[in-house]
């Protein structure tokens, strides 16, 4: 499989380079991330875990014709000293066109990232989805967006003569209203990879106030709509912008997120840190870690830039509980605290230093226990 990925990546790069030499204005780029990771109690087990991992992205993007652009990017992930875990794959490969037939209509075809709002329904900016995405400017100030993506396409031999695939679709309509932006989205996830196919359809209402004011707030509610699966989820966040006491200019937030059973839209995949990264130290300001399935989150935190320097201090505190208790009737998953420092001396170079601790709740461990992590990360873009 790895050899096949490398061949596909090389072929795609060759085709794109050939076309670009003949027709396109090309930009190239490379970003490199190195990260040292250490945990005293990985994944709730005993012992210690430490490693250094790297992620490298190499991309080509260019203007092929008027209003037509293309992008191909390759990504390599790996942990130093573990050759079997190193992988090279095609990260992006798509063409985007605007003003199709002279209309206010745009389209992107190929493997691309896609995110709706804060990612409650759809968030796959990291690994990419294969399909088509459309956007259009509509009358009376409305904008529309729609997409059809293929998640899985398996051989029918693996599923007793059925299709054995998985597809997602969505249609979204948005407009500026009440000083902010409001949107209504219909989302469907057809899963035919299980013994019995399921269809999850969601109707999502979202409103976000503008960030230019001192207080910004977000509300999003998703409810199943005439599908095989009944579920719902809610996300609310208030962010204060400005000076934070003696910590300088920045932002502070308060968050509440709640997801019922079966709220697994399928497209909110584990991101690129799945195998190499932060077990509890994921950025949870968006209200979810991959999914809100049977999960309630209450959190607060701040990020500030003191003395107008390119340095950010951050602090987060989150409480996690099950919406519906487990078999023993327990609900508490645990509490998380993050403290960190971010430093970006230039646009091309950044550093991140974070300490995180997670205290396990009764629903995870009878004896409790704390998981601690220390993270150092550097990003280089040029």
Q: What is the mean pLDDT of residues 232-261?
A: 84
Tokens of 102: 């002279």
| Residue-level pLDDT at 279 | 40
Quick one: CA dihedral 40, 43, 151, 185, positive or negative? negative
- pLDDT tier, 109 (very low <50, low <70, confident <90, very high otherwise): very high
User: Which residue reads 């340095």 in tokens?
Assistant: 311
| Residue-level pLDDT at 61 | 82
| Residue-level pLDDT at 352 | 85
Residue 162 has pLDDT above 60, yes or no: no
Q: Which domains does the chain have, with CATH numbers?
A: 94-381 (2.40.160.100)
**What is the distance between the alpha carbons of residues 163 and 193, in angstroms, rounded to a whole number?**
8
Which element (helix H / strand E) includes 22? helix 2-23
Q: What is the mean pLDDT of residues 70-86?
A: 81
**Which residues, listed in sequence order, are joined to residue 374 by a DSSP beta bridge?**
38, 355
User: Which residue reads 């199709």 in tokens?
Assistant: 100
- pLDDT tier, 182 (very low <50, low <70, confident <90, very high otherwise): very high
**CA-closest candidate to residue 175, choices 138, 212, 135:** 138
Three-class SS string for 335-351? EEEEEEEEEEEECCEEE
More confident residue, 286 or 312: 312
| Residue-level pLDDT at 204 | 94
- How many helices (H) and strands (E) the chain has is answered by 1, 18
User: Which residue reads 């509890």 in tokens?
Assistant: 280
Please tell me which of 17-26, 97-106, 261-270 the model is most confident about, judged by mean pLDDT: 97-106
Contact 280, 205 (CB under 8 A): no
> Greatest CA span in the chain, whole angstroms?
66
**What is the distance between the alpha carbons of residues 30 and 116, in angstroms, rounded to a whole number?**
27
| Residue-level pLDDT at 148 | 94
- pLDDT tier, 25 (very low <50, low <70, confident <90, very high otherwise): confident
| Residue-level pLDDT at 246 | 61
| Residue-level pLDDT at 275 | 32
**What is the distance between the alpha carbons of residues 80 and 278, in angstroms, rounded to a whole number?**
17
- Mean pLDDT (the chain, rounded): 78
Is 343 exposed, middle or buried, given 0-12, 13-18 or 19+ CB atoms closer than 10 A? middle
Q: Is the pTM of this model over 0.85?
A: no
């Amino acid at each position: 499989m790895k050899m096949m990925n490398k061949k596909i990546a090389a072929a795609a790069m060759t085709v794109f380079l050939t076309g670009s030499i003949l027709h396109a204005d090309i930009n190239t780029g490379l970003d490199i991330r190195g990260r040292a990771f250490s945990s005293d109690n990985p994944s709730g087990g005993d012992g210690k875990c430490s490693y250094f991992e790297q992620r490298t992205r190499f991309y080509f993007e260019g203007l092929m014709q008027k209003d037509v652009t293309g992008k191909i990017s390759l990504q390599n992930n790996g942990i130093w000293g573990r050759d079997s875990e190193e992988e090279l794959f095609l990260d992006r490969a798509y063409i985007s066109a605007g003003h199709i037939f002279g209309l206010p209509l745009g389209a992107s075809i190929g493997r691309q990232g896609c995110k709706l709002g804060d990612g409650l329904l759809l968030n796959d900016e990291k690994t990419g989805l294969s399909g088509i995405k459309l956007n259009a400017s509509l009358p009376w100030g409305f904008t529309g967006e729609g997409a059809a993506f293929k998640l899985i396409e398996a051989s029918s031999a693996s599923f007793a003569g059925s299709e054995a695939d998985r597809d997602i679709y969505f249609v979204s309509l948005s407009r500026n209203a009440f000083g902010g932006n409001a949107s209504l989205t219909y989302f469907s996830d057809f899963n035919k990879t299980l013994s019995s196919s399921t269809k999850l359809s969601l109707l999502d209402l979202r409103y976000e106030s503008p960030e230019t004011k001192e207080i910004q707030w977000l509300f999003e509610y998703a409810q199943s709509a005439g599908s095989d699966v009944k579920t719902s989820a809610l996300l609310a966040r208030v962010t204060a912008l400005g000076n934070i006491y003696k910590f300088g200019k920045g932002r502070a937030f308060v968050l509440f997120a709640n997801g019922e059973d079966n709220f697994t839209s399928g497209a909110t995949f584990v991101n690129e840190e799945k195998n190499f990264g932060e077990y509890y130290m994921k950025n949870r300001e968006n209200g979810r870690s991959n999914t809100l399935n049977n999960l309630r989150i209450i959190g607060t935190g701040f990020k500030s830039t003191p003395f107008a320097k390119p340095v950010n201090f951050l602090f987060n505190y989150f409480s996690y509980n099950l919406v519906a208790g487990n078999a023993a009737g327990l609900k508490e998953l645990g509490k998380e605290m993050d403290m960190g420092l971010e430093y970006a001396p230039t646009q091309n170079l950044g550093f991140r230093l974070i300490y995180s601790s997670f205290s396990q709740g009764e629903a995870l461990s009878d004896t409790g226990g704390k998981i601690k992590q220390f993270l150092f990360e550097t990003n280089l873009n040029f």
